[in-house]
Chains A and B, each alone.
Chain A
Amino acid sequence: MIRAGGVTKTFAGGTIALDNLDFTIAPGEFVTLLGPSGCGKSTALRLIANLIQPNSGTITFDGPAPAIGFVFQEPTLMPWARAIENVRLPLDLQSVPHAQGNSSAAQALARLGLSGFEQSYPRELSGGMKMRVSLARALVARPKLLLLDEPFAALDEAARFALNDDLIALAKQDGITVIFVTHSLAEAAYLSDRVLVMTPRPGKVAADIALAQPATRNAAWRVTPGFAALQAQIALSQGGAE
């Protein structure tokens, strides 16, 4: 369980990024923070990851802070390192033995469909493949909580849809909690168990929507009235918030 209570973050210069943010996220939930740019979504992720500190309020977990995987808007790979070395980074930093790190990293790459690209440098990979390496790196250390900051915004539609499906499957397999940040209503509707709609300046949660997702999600689901209904459900609450 992750609880944010009255979290406020003000940046130097006086910009209030988040004002009195409250939410609770249950273990294994896939939650999306949806909102326009400048609503403090990324700030909220960084606060949860303990990369920055709130001015007031608290973020608490059941027990100690869980192992976290983080995926940025950009692939954020080390250009001088091969794919497998990039994925191995979290393990290297925890001084995992080299052979064990290599096999875990190769396995993580394979889960993201990148077998055979272990020795490639980032510049040799497409945008979608780079993001897959980045996701493999986030999953390699077996996190309990995965934080994604608009990870697929820069990808073409085909790559984004494929990664959406893979992300749902991987999160379910590992039984991890996911907090996903996006400004795309359709993406939020496709991925999430719950959507927290945020308003900009100062950022706060305007609506908390539970979505009833079907057993299987795929390309066909995207064109059903059911999927359109989920999007409408979010859009209506968004309209009410503004």
Chain B
Amino acid sequence: MKRALNLILPLLLAIAVLGFWEWIVTARHIPPYVLPAPGAIAAALAGNFGSLMASLLTTLTVTMEGFIAALVAGAALAILFSQSRLAERALYPYAVILQVTPIVAIAPLILIWVGFEHINLALTLIAALVAFFPILSNTALGLKSADQNLLELMHLYGASRWQILWRLQFPTALPYLLGAMKIAGGLSLIGAVVAEFVAGSGTATGLAWRIVESGNRLEIAMLFAALALLASLGIAIFAVLSLLEWALLKNWHESALSQRN
């Protein structure tokens, strides 16, 4: 009953808002280049379904590749940090600099360096850069958070560095990593969108570019359609990563247990 209500309530609200939106646009004669009615947006979506899906796929590909690159690089660097205090001291400040410098400011440089002929590589790199830091910092924290007594026990039984890493530090870090992945998934989508904006029309063909293009042509219904798809993509990424988190932690981690009650 409570679960059903959790689904029905937001749905009812959405129907009410869309209904009101449709009504006010018609009743007040709001021009479609200011605010198109939901019906018009749906029509734009249906009318351009093929090309919008192609754009969605482009943006999804850049987002996923950026995300995976960030995941691999962030986790690998975190493991390096956990094994070598020297490496951590030397490299961590640069990771922070990378994090605090706004990506919009670096994006043009990356596009020039990588080159417009490798536009997708440049976009992926930008998406990866945005998503990289949360993975690195959370995983590094997780790897350091191993229970001290368990660590002593491992030493007592003569465990090697890799046994400790694999059997103790990595499982300890897993909830941290999964939490970071949920943040990084959203960030890599933002990175992909920013990258497409900076790359500009004619080179990028993803959803963000469709938004820029529609805005320039005052096709606001189309803009909304692309925006809706972009939001859906973000929600889908978050949902998949939440599901992954739940599947991996459901048996033992407090976060998954409290949800059950």
Footprint of B on A, CB under 8 Å?
46, 49-51, 68, 70, 72, 74, 76, 78-81, 89-90, 92-94, 121-123, 141
Residues of B within 8 A of A74 (CB): 149
Judging by beta carbons under 8 Å apart, are B163 and A93 in contact? yes
Residues of B within 8 A of A141 (CB): 157
Complex: chain B residue closest to A76, CB-CB: B149
Complex: chain B residue closest to A77, CB-CB: B150
| Chain B, 216-260, CB within 8 A of any chain A CB | 251-253, 257
Residues of B within 8 A of A51 (CB): 152, 155-156
Residues of B within 8 A of A123 (CB): 252, 257
Nearest Cβ on chain A to B170's Cβ, whole angstroms = 10
Nearest Cβ on chain B to A98's Cβ, whole angstroms = 14
Q: A78-B167, A80-B171, A80-B251 are in contact. List 8 more A-B contacts (CB 8 A).
A: A46-B152, A50-B156, A76-B150, A78-B171, A79-B253, A93-B154, A94-B157, A121-B252
Partner of A78, one of B150, B152, B158, B159: B150
Residues of B within 8 A of A79 (CB): 252-253
Nearest Cβ on chain A to B147's Cβ, whole angstroms = 7
- Bound form: Cα–Cα A166–B24 in Å: 78
Ordered by A's residue number, 16 sampled pairs between the chains whose C-beta atoms are within 8 Å are A46-B152, A50-B156, A51-B156, A70-B156, A72-B153, A76-B150, A76-B153, A78-B167, A78-B168, A81-B171, A89-B157, A92-B167, A93-B159, A121-B251, A123-B252, A141-B157
Nearest Cβ on chain A to B260's Cβ, whole angstroms = 11
- Chain B interface size range: 20 to 34
Judging by beta carbons under 8 Å apart, are A94 and B168 in contact? no
Judging by beta carbons under 8 Å apart, are B157 and A93 in contact? yes
Residues of A within 8 A of B150 (CB): 76, 78
Residues of B within 8 A of A93 (CB): 154, 157-159, 163, 167
- Bound form: Cα–Cα A90–B150 in Å: 11
- Bound form: Cα–Cα A49–B167 in Å: 21
Complex: chain B residue closest to A141, CB-CB: B157
Nearest Cβ on chain A to B202's Cβ, whole angstroms = 50
Partner of A90, one of B155, B157, B174: B157
- Bound form: Cα–Cα A80–B149 in Å: 16
- Bound form: Cα–Cα A236–B156 in Å: 37
| Chain B, 147-190, CB within 8 A of any chain A CB | 147, 149-150, 152-159, 163, 167-168, 171, 174
Residues of B within 8 A of A81 (CB): 171
Residues of B within 8 A of A92 (CB): 167
- Bound form: Cα–Cα A72–B148 in Å: 11
Nearest Cβ on chain A to B249's Cβ, whole angstroms = 8
**Closest 8 pairs (CB-CB, A-B):** A76-B149, A93-B157, A80-B252, A80-B171, A79-B252, A72-B149, A93-B159, A90-B157
| Chain B, 37-90, CB within 8 A of any chain A CB | none
Residues of B within 8 A of A72 (CB): 149, 153
Nearest Cβ on chain A to B124's Cβ, whole angstroms = 33
Residues of A within 8 A of B152 (CB): 46, 51, 70
- Bound form: Cα–Cα A41–B167 in Å: 29
Residues of A within 8 A of B168 (CB): 78
Complex: chain A residue closest to B159, CB-CB: A93
Interface centre among B153, B158, B168, B252 (most CB of A within 10 A): B153
- Bound form: Cα–Cα A76–B150 in Å: 6
- Bound form: Cα–Cα A125–B114 in Å: 56
Residues of B within 8 A of A70 (CB): 152-153, 156
Residues of B within 8 A of A78 (CB): 150, 167-168, 171
- The answer to whether residues A94 and B153 also contact, given A76-B147, A123-B257 and a CB cut-off of 8 A, is no
Nearest Cβ on chain B to A43's Cβ, whole angstroms = 13
